[in-house]
Amino acid sequence: MPLGTIDRKPPAFFKHGMSALSKLVLFAILSVLLMVADARYGMTQPLRATMSLLLYPLEWLSLRPRWVIDEAGRFFEGRDAAQAQVQAMSLKLQQQALRSGQVEQLSLENQQLRRLLDLRERLSSSALAAEVLYDSADPFTRKVVIDKGALQGVQPSSPVMDDVGVLGQVTRVMPLVSEVTLVIDREQSIPVLNTRTGARGVAYGEAGGAPLLELRYMAANADIEVGDLLTTSGVDAIYPPGVPVAVVLKVERRAESVFARILCQPQGRVYGARHVMVLEPLGRQVPPRPPHERSGTLPIKGGPR
């Protein structure tokens, strides 16, 4: 190759162009001119709008994690607040239900006490108000314990009733409490009177365990119907006459028996009574017999002559 054809220019690797200071001055002047032009004439506004439009997807994507975190925080805060509000409303509802139940119970007790007072005014015998404490622990008997005893004047065999009818009879008296055997106990019996026909009978506690009474020893052809009201007859010198005892519930007349099987629903609240009234036994209200009747002699009229 001839020497005249060799390129004597330095390679591009060794080219240096403008110096760094020149570039700084140039770009500084360009920046000042652009700022002045943008401030006075708004020449870069279209460029800024275009760049904002192009960069919006990147901004939206970069803000998504923060938005997700904020929404999750608001969700959990709202859930906790809703749960707290639900719990508060549930507690308030329970309190209102409790108060409503107490009001209904007090209203029921008030009505029962009013009826007891009205019944006490109609009865000629003395009465003592008492409250049922608990049922007897013996599962084979039907007894309750009341909060009045011998110190309050309760006597054995005293009849016990609520505002609806007869409940039973005092069978055990202790100083501060007494035990009452209910009319549905299988060992309990009470003379009754059919208010429709005037027929007398004796009602016994149902031996089958049902809270019923059985009117025994009534002839199969006796005039008794479902719905007849049975009251105390007063012939036992214990219960005052005319107090509701039971209502005839079922009458079975069997051909193989001369007696009818009569089941009765007790009128007293044998399973729900709380306030009761203890009456003085009717026999204790009868005046004692005169001395001449007890001795069997007749009084001499006119005296000695």
pLDDT tens per residue, range 81-99: 888 888 888 777 777 766 7
- Phi-psi region at 83: left, alpha or beta (left = phi > 0; alpha = psi -120 to 50): alpha
| pLDDT value of residue 265 | 93
| pLDDT value of residue 4 | 58
Is a pLDDT exceeding 70 seen at residue 195?
yes
Cα dihedral sign, 117-276-105-249: negative
Longest dimension (CA), the chain: 202
Q: Is 163 exposed, middle or buried (0-12, 13-18, 19+ CB in 10 A)?
A: buried
**Domain chopping of the chain, boundaries:** 22-122, 127-285
The class (CATH top level) of 127-285 is mainly beta
Per the prediction, the chain carries an average pLDDT of 79
What's the rounded mean pLDDT across residues 125-145?
A: 84
Which residues, in sequence order, are bridge partners of residue 160?
168, 278
What's the rounded mean pLDDT across residues 280-294?
A: 61
| pLDDT value of residue 120 | 59
Q: Model confidence over 20-76: pLDDT tens digits?
A: 888 888 888 888 887 887 777 777 777 777 877 787 788 788 878 888 888 888 888
d(CA 70, CA 3): 77
> 156: closest CA among 143, 169, 166, 168?
169
Is a pLDDT exceeding 90 seen at residue 203?
yes
d(CA 214, CA 189): 9
The H-or-E segment that residue 100 falls in is: helix 45-122
Q: Model confidence over 107-131: pLDDT tens digits?
A: 666 666 666 666 655 555 678 889 8
Are the C-beta atoms of 267 and 247 separated by less than 8 Å? Answer: yes
DSSP symbol at 271:
T
- CA 207 to mean position of chain CA atoms: 32
d(CA 170, CA 180): 4
Are the C-beta atoms of 194 and 201 separated by less than 8 Å? Answer: yes
Report the percent of the chain where pLDDT is more than 90.
22
Are the C-beta atoms of 259 and 220 separated by less than 8 Å? Answer: yes
Is a pLDDT exceeding 60 seen at residue 295?
no
d(CA 177, CA 149): 4
Q: Which residue spans within 151-274 are E strands per DSSP? A: 159-161, 166-173, 178-182, 189-194, 200-205, 213-219, 229-232, 244-252, 259-266
